[in-house]
């Protein structure tokens, strides 16, 4: 096999990997891949095609910036933030959920968190401590690796399965095979999905909701990429169609909404845990005994768990998020139009890869092709995800292996956020080299 077209030699990559003390490049974390790509770029001056980290690639929303400046100038930041969040954000969040999901959640049950990771961290704790013997988490994978890392920190056991072969009606039997033990405290997934960009459909969410009620499990629905299924005309306030959500089918849910992607406000670490009013008001003896408080789920979540993790969220950023949510509800921000560029990039990137022998791994939802958006998945020949990740690094393209996300499919995750127009011809040239050096039987 010819290897004359590599951008970075195997020796150079091995040198960098050794210097960074990365034990296994094929199973490297997002952070480790990022370090390798950055080190190679710095050493050689050759630009990488960065498909590794899902960091926003658009300017932050100006309405948020101006609102945050005003909050800073007001002097309010001299006071500690309330654990439950500032009133303005809670009310804006409640209105936003109504406007864009057509779901009613009271302002008191919309809780600001320092990013989606804090929302899931607190939710894992509260969900697994509420009922004796119900202490495991079930992941519908592929998913966000950091959430499993959180469970390692907490010492919480989890189970998982790759949804690839269990779409539609097949999902019920698969889910029930895990939940019938009675040990599952929470079910976790992202929709749209990180990393596969598949979207669970209403019929599937109805199954999840019904089983959550049957087995008293909390559904943690990660909506970081809210309304970013660009195949549909989503994102019009108080107008259908609305994004599918499990909140239509159960009262046992926590919706996690982040400012990072839809408003490109990632650096300020601001998100929401929107707890159904039904779950918020539930009393659990086990929580009351453990924390010496009321045992009411929502109150324990806020005062006895979340506050111990972050001591509240940055006050000025809460006002920024509140104003962005309010502006979206009033039609002054069209966040779907603002983020549609990710789909345009994905379409161009996919075409380059497909033209050079790659395939889309998670290519279909139940009835239609997976849309274009923030992420997509790639496979090549018979390579495992780790092998493909490693080989692409030699050609100046960084990614993460699907194996690190709980997927059982061979391939990688590609992110569109850092792609720039001038890099498309570079990507095409490098993938033509890659295909020449890696002939397949296809």
Specify the pLDDT at position 1.
37
Please list, in sequence order, all residues whose beta carbon lies within 8 angstroms of the beta carbon of residue 236, skipping any fewer than 6 positions away.
none
pTM: 0.95
Count CB-CB contacts under 10 A for residue 280.
22
Between 1 and 162, name the one with better pLDDT.
Answer: 162
Specify the pLDDT at position 212.
98
Cα–Cα distance between 274 and 256 in angstroms, integer? Answer: 6
Specify the pLDDT at position 3.
56
Please list, in sequence order, all residues whose beta carbon lies within 8 angstroms of the beta carbon of residue 316, skipping any fewer than 6 positions away.
68, 71, 72, 76, 77
Residue 278 lies in a domain: yes
* 245 and 172 fall within a common domain: yes
223-238 pLDDT tens trace: 999 999 999 999 999 9
Residue 5 lies in a domain: no
40-53 pLDDT tens trace: 999 999 999 999 98
* 178 and 222 fall within a common domain: yes
Is the pLDDT assigned to residue 135 strictly greater than 70? yes
Give the residue among 95, 133, 56, 101 at the shortest CA–CA distance from 236: 101
Specify the pLDDT at position 185.
98
Count CB-CB contacts under 10 A for residue 233.
11
* 29 and 79 fall within a common domain: no
Specify the pLDDT at position 409.
96
Is the pLDDT assigned to residue 66 strictly greater than 80? yes
Residue 123 lies in a domain: yes
Residue 358 lies in a domain: yes
Single residue among 329, 351, 382 that ends a domain in this structure:
329
Give the residue among 38, 160, 145, 121 at the shortest CA–CA distance from 418: 38
Specify the pLDDT at position 183.
98
Q: Tell me what percent of the residues of the chain surpass a pLDDT of 90.
A: 94
Count CB-CB contacts under 10 A for residue 334.
14
* 140 and 97 fall within a common domain: yes
Please list, in sequence order, all residues whose beta carbon lies within 8 angstroms of the beta carbon of residue 165, skipping any fewer than 6 positions away.
none
* 185 and 124 fall within a common domain: yes
* 411 and 301 fall within a common domain: no
How confident is the model over 81-90, as a mean pLDDT?
96
The CA–CA distances, whole Å, from 380 to 24, 38, 149, 198 equal 20, 25, 28, 19
* 86 and 21 fall within a common domain: no
355-405 pLDDT tens trace: 999 999 999 999 899 999 999 999 999 999 999 999 999 999 999 999 999
Single residue among 329, 363, 379 that ends a domain in this structure:
329
180-233 pLDDT tens trace: 999 999 999 999 999 999 999 999 999 999 999 999 999 999 999 999 999 999
Q: What is the residue-averaged pLDDT of the chain?
A: 96
Residue 3 lies in a domain: no
CATH code assigned at 395:
3.90.1150.100
Into how many domains does the chain fold? 2
Model confidence band, residue 54 (pLDDT cutoffs 50, 70, 90) = confident
Q: Which domain covers residue 386, as residue numbers?
A: 10-46+340-437
Single residue among 329, 349, 364 that ends a domain in this structure:
329
DSSP 300: I
Helix (H, G, I), strand (E, B) or coil at 75: coil
Is the pLDDT assigned to residue 2 strictly greater than 90? no
Count CB-CB contacts under 10 A for residue 341.
14
232-291 pLDDT tens trace: 999 999 999 999 999 999 999 999 999 999 999 999 999 999 999 999 999 999 999 999
């Amino acid at each position: 096999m010819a290897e004359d077209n590599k951008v970075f030699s195997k020796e150079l990559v091995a040198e960098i990997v050794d210097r960074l003390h990365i034990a296994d490049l094929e199973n490297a974390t997002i952070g480790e891949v990022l370090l390798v790509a950055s080190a190679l770029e710095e050493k050689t001056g050759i630009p990488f095609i960065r498909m590794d980290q899902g960091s926003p690639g658009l300017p932050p929303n100006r309405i948020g910036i101006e609102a945050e400046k005003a909050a800073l100038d007001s002097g309010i930041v001299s006071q500690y933030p309330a654990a439950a969040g500032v009133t303005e954000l809670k009310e804006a969040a409640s209105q936003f959920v109504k406007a864009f999901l057509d779901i009613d959640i009271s302002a008191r049950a919309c809780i600001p968190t320092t990013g989606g990771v804090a929302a899931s961290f607190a939710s894992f704790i509260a969900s697994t401590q509420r009922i004796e013997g119900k202490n495991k988490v079930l992941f519908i994978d592929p998913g966000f690796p950091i959430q499993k890392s959180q469970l390692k920190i907490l010492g919480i056991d989890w189970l998982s399965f790759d949804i690839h072969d269990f779409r539609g009606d097949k999902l019920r039997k698969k889910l029930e095979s895990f939940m019938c033990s009675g040990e599952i405290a929470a079910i976790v997934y992202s929709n749209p999905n990180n990393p596969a960009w598949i979207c669970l459909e209403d019929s599937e969410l109805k199954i999840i909701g019904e089983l959550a009620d049957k087995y008293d499990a909390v559904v943690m629905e990660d909506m970081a990429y809210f309304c970013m299924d660009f195949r549909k005309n989503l994102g019009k306030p108080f107008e259908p169609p609305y994004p599918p959500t499990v909140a239509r089918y159960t009262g046992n849910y926590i919706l996690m909404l982040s400012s990072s992607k839809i408003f490109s406000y990632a650096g300020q670490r601001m998100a929401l845990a929107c707890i159904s009013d039904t779950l918020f008001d539930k009393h659990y003896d086990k929580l009351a005994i453990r924390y010496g408080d009321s045992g009411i789920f929502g109150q324990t979540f806020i005062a006895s768990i979340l506050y111990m993790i972050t001591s509240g969220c940055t006050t000025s950023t809460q006002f920024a998020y509140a104003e962005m949510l309010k502006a979206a509800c009033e039609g002054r921000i069209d966040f779907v139009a603002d983020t549609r560029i990710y789909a345009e990039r994905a379409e161009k990137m996919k075409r380059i890869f497909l033209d050079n022998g790659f395939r889309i791994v998670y290519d279909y939802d139940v009835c239609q092709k997976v849309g274009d958006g923030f992420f997509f998945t790639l496979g090549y020949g018979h390579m495992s995800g780790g092998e493909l990740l490693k080989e692409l690094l030699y050609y100046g393209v960084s990614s993460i292996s699907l194996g690190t996300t709980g997927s059982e499919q061979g391939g990688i995750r590609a992110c569109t956020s850092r792609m720039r127009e001038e890099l498309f011809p570079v990507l095409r040239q490098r993938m033509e080299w890659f295909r020449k050096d890696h002939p397949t039987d296809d």
